[in-house]
Structure 1
Amino acid sequence: MTSTDPAPQPHATAEQVEAARLDSKLAQVLYHDWEAESYDEKWSISYDQRCIDYARSCFDGIVPDDEFQRLPYDRALELGCGSGFFLLNLIQSGVARRGSVTDLSPGMVKVATRNGQALGLDIDGRVADAEHIPYDDDTFDLVVGHAVLHHIPDVELSLREVMRVLRPGGRFVFAGEPTTVGNQYARRLADLTWNLTIRAVKLPGLGGWRRPQAEIDENSRAAALEWIVDLHTFSPADLEKMATRAGAVDVDTATVEFTAAMLGWPVRTFESTVPPGKLGWGWSRFAFGSWKTLSWVDANIWRHVVPKGWFYNVMITGVKPS
């Protein structure tokens, strides 16, 4: 972070949450500052081979084969970096040499740059609005993001900014964006899991599985903010049109996770309702192994049967004209 970046606000009050209902960008800052220090744990994010392989599979799954001869890109930018998961793991996989991480949340930029430094990577970070990227024209060879576009009020404006800061011939890759259909079943499954778990841990003998009421109340406020910060869902075709209008060429989309998302959302929601460390390593192996198995089924079976727009995540790539 630069010396002029604002400080993180790790705990939002009820009054701030109420104010954020009328200001989506304030909501983004409050929610993601709130989540920053626990984000990697909440989403099972790591910077080892497991997540390196996942990040690289996203990149390989949407970028044309002939692009691989360009690797590594010299300089990459991540928008909405969160804890740095996507870019840091892409750099470790050989996609880029060095990078800049940006987010509207000071807390997330702090964590992402700290993670990059701990890994020994050439990383700098800035608090930045994706609709007004604070870098000069023609600066980056690659711009990436994971689960960021659906948080941005004006997605097409942001994509125009991406095109501006890319060098001619540079590429963008965005992954982890919710489809309209996928978001519907994911939300319902997550809400159902939350309500059932909160009721179940009140039963006699299950008190050890219940978080303190103060934590539950704080998580409930965070969940209220999450409804506010998730601004969009996408159909693959509409996302392609936005990128094309923004000036990109060679635009393409791909979708992933169908049954894997139907498992993943209840699993992650359940994990967030019980005390940290309660589930143990065996649960982690079960959750990750099951997700990998269902992801394979989705990619090799359901992809040939289920419409593209029914999968949960959509990825998009495009190029700035030379």
Structure 2
Amino acid sequence: MTAKADPAPNPHASAEQVEAAWQDPKLANVLYHDWEASTYDEKWSISYDERCITYAVDRFRLAAGDVGPYEHALELGSGTGFFLLNLMQGGVASKGSVTDLSPGMVQAALRNAEHLGLDVDGRVADAERIPYEDNTFDLVVGHAVLHHIPDVSAAMREVLRVLKPGGRFVFAGEPTTIGDFYARKLGQATWWLTTNVTKAVPVLNSWRRPQEELDESSRAAALEAVVDIHTFDPDELERTAVRAGAVRVRAVTEELSAALFGWPVRTFEAAVPREKLGFGWAMFAYRTWQRLSWLDEQVLSKVVPRNLFYNVLIAGTKPV
């Protein structure tokens, strides 16, 4: 039987498709992420060098307690491949497979893997019905994906199905319920302030992105209300994984002061022309985020309840 070809990317959705997406979160995810695929790495300052390799490996170690190595790893909701490709470069896995609902994201991830010389294949796939056989992978990973999946419990069961006995899963970058609330409020306030000040103050007009770009960003932000389905309580996320059949399950959280700084910075960067900021700004933002992340991990995590932090990470194992 001939394998069914993956669908082509659709970076320019019609008005009818966008209207339908408001009632269909999976379609919304496809349209939104196909639209973002070509600019996603730039938007989120994603790279495949030492900076992001270190970030990815550190997130993995924080969640899992080790860094492998693992033979064959699958990434769910891979986007452009940020998490898996940087983990592979960091020696966590030697062979990779990427899946995403968005054809544009799968294509971007495979292009990035080819450019990096990594052994990676890819499929357009639903995380609730992973198109691989039982007991295929030594490791399943994801970054900022679980909150997009309508049925997280079904996805967890699928993850355990495709893992080999004793295999590990690690998911990072998921929003906590409290963290998502304050991050969104900070982002909305920063967007409103930046776009209005750069419009109202003539000397700052050159810092305002063209109106058509701002309108497009606003439309994309509106779709986020559909594609961002869940926020998580760390305790409940652990219970979800255990109910799916996982063992040695552990959730940890990170980013409190780093999130309070980072979300306004990211929003400001999205609201002004990138060329206005330059390398000096990028290094200031990154170094400040690093220092605040250290503060969160070494000091605040010891005294602040974990559900107040922005990110939750979870790891677990398939029973032998």
Please give the range of the TM-score, normalised by the shorter of the 2 chains.
over 0.9
**Match for residue 143 of structure 1?**
140
What is the rounded CA distance, in whole Å, between the counterparts of 1:274 and 1:19 in structure 2?
31
2:88 to 83, 88, 91: 91
Kept after mapping to 2: 8 A contact 1:17/1:221: no
Equivalent runs, 1:143-292 vs 2, <5 Å? 143-202=140-199, 203-292=201-290
Q: CA deviation at 1:62?
A: 1.6
Q: CA deviation at 1:3?
A: 7.3
Unaligned runs of 5+ in 2: none
The superposition leaves residues 72-116 of structure 1 with CA deviations (integer Å, 9 ceiling, x where unpaired) of: 211000000011000000001111111001100001001001000
Kept after mapping to 2: 8 A contact 1:14/1:221: no
Report the residue type matching 2:70 in the other structure: Y
Kept after mapping to 2: 8 A contact 1:177/1:314: yes
Q: CA deviation at 1:64?
A: 3.1
Q: CA deviation at 1:16?
A: 2.8
Residue 199 of structure 1 aligns to a residue whose secondary structure is helix
Report the residue type matching 1:254 in the other structure: V
What is the rounded CA distance, in whole Å, between the counterparts of 1:204 and 1:55 in structure 2?
42
Residue 275 of structure 2 aligns to a residue whose secondary structure is coil
Report the residue type matching 1:176 in the other structure: G
Q: How many pairs align?
A: 317
What is the rounded CA distance, in whole Å, between the counterparts of 2:137 and 2:179 in structure 1?
32
**Match for residue 315 of structure 2?**
317
**Match for residue 292 of structure 2?**
294
Q: Does 1:81 align with 2:78?
A: yes
What is the rounded CA distance, in whole Å, between the counterparts of 2:128 and 2:159 in structure 1?
9
The superposition leaves residues 173-222 of structure 1 with CA deviations (integer Å, 9 ceiling, x where unpaired) of: 00000000100100000000011111011121222111111111111110
Q: Does 1:35 align with 2:45?
A: no
Equivalent runs, 1:14-163 vs 2, <5 Å? 14-65=15-66, 68=67, 71-163=68-160
TM-score in terms of structure 2 length: 0.97
Which of structure 1's runs of 4+ aligned residues deviate more than 6 A?
none
What is the rounded CA distance, in whole Å, between the counterparts of 1:34 and 1:262 in structure 2?
28
**Match for residue 12 of structure 2?**
11
What is the rounded CA distance, in whole Å, between the counterparts of 1:14 and 1:283 in structure 2?
37
What is the rounded CA distance, in whole Å, between the counterparts of 1:133 and 1:268 in structure 2?
32
Report the residue type matching 2:110 in the other structure: T
Q: CA deviation at 1:18?
A: 2.2
What is the rounded CA distance, in whole Å, between the counterparts of 1:269 and 1:78 in structure 2?
27
User: Which deviates more, 5-14 or 271-280?
Assistant: 5-14
The superposition leaves residues 219-240 of structure 1 with CA deviations (integer Å, 9 ceiling, x where unpaired) of: 1110011121000000110000
What is the rounded CA distance, in whole Å, between the counterparts of 1:292 and 1:199 in structure 2?
30
Report the residue type matching 1:159 in the other structure: M
Q: Percent identity?
A: 65
What is the rounded CA distance, in whole Å, between the counterparts of 2:17 and 2:288 in structure 1?
38
Kept after mapping to 2: 8 A contact 1:210/1:274: yes
Q: CA deviation at 1:138?
A: 0.4
TM-score in terms of structure 1 length: 0.96
What is the rounded CA distance, in whole Å, between the counterparts of 2:13 and 2:219 in structure 1?
8
What is the rounded CA distance, in whole Å, between the counterparts of 2:136 and 2:254 in structure 1?
30
The superposition leaves residues 20-69 of structure 1 with CA deviations (integer Å, 9 ceiling, x where unpaired) of: 1111001000110111111111111100000000000011112135xx5x
Across the aligned residues of Structure 1 and Structure 2, the Cα RMSD in angstroms comes to 1.1
